[in-house]
Structure 1
Amino acid sequence: MEKPSKIPATVITGFLGAGKTSAIRHLLQNAKGRRIALVINEFGDLGVDGEILKGCGIEDCGEEDVVELANGCICCTVADDFLPTIQALLDRADPPDHIVIETSGLALPKPLVKAFAWPEVRTRTTVDGVITMIDGPAVADGLFAGDPEAVAAQREADENLDHETPLEELFEEQLACADMVVINKADMLDDAQLQAVEATVARHLRPAVKSLRTSHGAVDIAVLLGLDAAAEDDLDSRHSHHDAAGEHDHDDFTSFSIALGEAEAPEALLARLLPVIAEHGILRVKGFAAVTGKAMRLVVQGVGDRLQHYYDRDWQPGEERSTRLVIIGETGLDEAAIRAALAS
Structure 2
Amino acid sequence: MEPEYDEEPPLAIAINDDVDNDIPSQPSVESYSSQRPDIPDAPPVGVTVITGYLGAGKSTLVNYILNGEHGKRIAVILNEFGEEIGVERAMINEGEGGALVEEWVELANGCICCTVKHSLVQALEQLVQRKERLDHILLETTGLANPAPLASVLWLDDQLESDVRLDCIITVVDAKNLRYQLKSHHDSSSFPEAYHQIAFADVVILNKVDLVSSDKAGVTLEDLEKDIYNINSLASIIRSVRCQVDLSMILNCRAYGATHATHLEALLKENKTLSTKDIHDSGIRTLCICEQKEVVLEKVRMWIEEILWDKKYDMDVYRCKGILSVVNSDQLFTLQAVREVYEIVPTRKWKDEENRINKIVFIGRSLNEEILVNTMGACTI
Q: TM-score range by the shorter chain?
A: 0.5 to 0.7
3-state SS of paired residue (1:183): strand
User: Is 1:59 aligned to 2:108, yes or no?
Assistant: yes
- 1:178 alignment partner, one of 201, 215, 218: 201
Amino acid at match of 2:200: C
CA distance in 1, matches of 2:190, 2:210: 28
What does 1:232-311 align with in structure 2 at a 5 Å threshold? 238-239=318-319, 243=339
Distance 1:117 1:228, change over 3 A: closer
User: Is 1:219 aligned to 2:245, yes or no?
Assistant: yes
CA distance in 1, matches of 2:210, 2:129: 42
CA distance in 2, matches of 1:233, 1:188: 37
The alpha-carbon deviation at position 122 of structure 1 amounts to: 5.6
Distance 1:231 1:13, change over 3 A: farther
Q: Check conservation: 2:74, 2:137, Cα contact below 8 A.
A: yes
Amino acid at match of 1:69: V
The alpha-carbon deviation at position 183 of structure 1 amounts to: 0.7
Which structure 1 residue ranges, 5 or more long, are not aligned?
A: 71-79, 152-162, 245-344
User: Is 1:203 aligned to 2:230, yes or no?
Assistant: yes
CA distance in 2, matches of 1:83, 1:123: 12
Distance 1:115 1:147, change over 3 A: closer
Give the TM-score normalised by the residue count of structure 2.
0.49
The alpha-carbon deviation at position 186 of structure 1 amounts to: 0.7
Q: Check conservation: 1:176, 1:206, Cα contact below 8 A.
A: no
Partner of 2:123 in structure 1?
A: 85
3-state SS of paired residue (2:231): coil
Distance 1:24 1:96, change over 3 A: same
Partner of 1:165 in structure 2?
A: 190
Deviations 1:276-332 (A, max 9, x none): xxxxxxxxxxxxxxxxxxxxxxxxxxxxxxxxxxxxxxxxxxxxxxxxxxxxxxxxx
Cα RMSD after superposing both structures: 3.6
The alpha-carbon deviation at position 143 of structure 1 amounts to: 2.7
Partner of 2:297 in structure 1?
A: none
Partner of 1:341 in structure 2?
A: none
CA distance in 1, matches of 2:76, 2:160: 17
CA distance in 2, matches of 1:137, 1:13: 17
Deviations 1:10-66 (A, max 9, x none): 111111111011112222333522111110022553243556999x9962266xx22
Q: Check conservation: 2:198, 2:231, Cα contact below 8 A.
A: yes
* Residues paired across the two proteins, number: 214
- Greater length-normalized contact order (CA 8 Å, ≥ 6 residues apart): 1
Amino acid at match of 1:9: V
3-state SS of paired residue (1:239): strand
User: Is 1:69 aligned to 2:116, yes or no?
Assistant: yes
Distance 1:45 1:217, change over 3 A: same
3-state SS of paired residue (1:8): strand
User: Is 1:19 aligned to 2:19, yes or no?
Assistant: no
Q: Check conservation: 1:40, 1:49, Cα contact below 8 A.
A: no
Partner of 2:166 in structure 1?
A: 127
Q: Check conservation: 2:156, 2:165, Cα contact below 8 A.
A: no
3-state SS of paired residue (2:149): helix
CA distance in 1, matches of 2:259, 2:125: 19
Q: Check conservation: 2:77, 2:140, Cα contact below 8 A.
A: yes
Structure with greater helix percent: 1
User: Which is greater in Rg?
Assistant: 2
3-state SS of paired residue (2:194): helix
CA distance in 2, matches of 1:3, 1:61: 23
Distance 1:39 1:57, change over 3 A: closer
User: Is 1:104 aligned to 2:142, yes or no?
Assistant: yes
CA distance in 2, matches of 1:107, 1:233: 28
Which structure 2 residue ranges, 5 or more long, are not aligned?
A: 1-39, 92-102, 261-303, 309-316, 321-337, 341-381
Give the TM-score normalised by the residue count of structure 1.
0.53
Q: Check conservation: 1:114, 1:232, Cα contact below 8 A.
A: no
The alpha-carbon deviation at position 92 of structure 1 amounts to: 1.6
Partner of 1:307 in structure 2?
A: none
Identity percentage of aligned residues: 24
Partner of 2:21 in structure 1?
A: none
Deviations 1:131-158 (A, max 9, x none): 1100112213x1355444xx2xxxxxxx
Deviations 1:151-184 (A, max 9, x none): 2xxxxxxxxxxx5434x2x222211221110111
